[in-house]
Amino acid sequence: LSEKWIPIILPFKILCLIAALRAINAFNSRLVYATGHPGIALSNTAICTLIMPLGFLIGSKYGLEGLSYAWLFLFPIVFLIATKRSISVINLNLLEYFKNLISPIIATSFMALLVELSKILLINSSNEIFQLIFYCFIGMLSYIGFIIIFFKDFLLDVKIFITAN
Full-model pTM: 0.77
Q: pLDDT band for position 47 (50/70/90)?
A: very high
Regarding predicted confidence, which is higher, 119 or 29? 29
148 and 109 within one domain: yes
Regarding predicted confidence, which is higher, 126 or 135? 135
82 and 34 within one domain: yes
Sign for the CA dihedral angle at 143, 149, 154, 157 comes to: positive
Q: pLDDT band for position 8 (50/70/90)?
A: very high
Q: CB under 8 Å to 85, separation ≥6 — which residues? A: 40, 43, 44
Question: Which pLDDT belongs to residue 28?
Answer: 92
How large is the average pLDDT for residues 131-157?
A: 89
Q: SS3 for 2-30, per residue?
A: CHHHHHHHHHHHHHHHHHHHHHHHHHHHH
Is 131:122 a contact under the CB 8 Å cutoff?
yes
58 and 5 within one domain: yes
114 and 37 within one domain: no
Write down which residue in 40, 72, 93 finishes a domain: 93
81 and 113 within one domain: no
145 and 113 within one domain: yes
Q: Above pLDDT 70, what percent of the chain?
A: 97
Question: Which pLDDT belongs to residue 84?
Answer: 97
Is 74:51 a contact under the CB 8 Å cutoff?
yes
How large is the average pLDDT for residues 85-112?
A: 92
Structural domain range at position 107: 101-165
78 and 117 within one domain: no
128 and 55 within one domain: no
108 and 158 within one domain: yes
When divided into structural domains, the chain yields a total of: 2
Question: Which pLDDT belongs to residue 104?
Answer: 85
Regarding predicted confidence, which is higher, 53 or 120? 53
68 and 15 within one domain: yes
* Cα–Cα distance, 64 to 161 (Å, whole number): 42
Question: Which pLDDT belongs to residue 123?
Answer: 65
55 and 32 within one domain: yes
pLDDT value at 35 more than 70: yes
Average pLDDT, the chain: 91
Question: Which pLDDT belongs to residue 124?
Answer: 65
106 and 75 within one domain: no
Regarding predicted confidence, which is higher, 152 or 22? 22
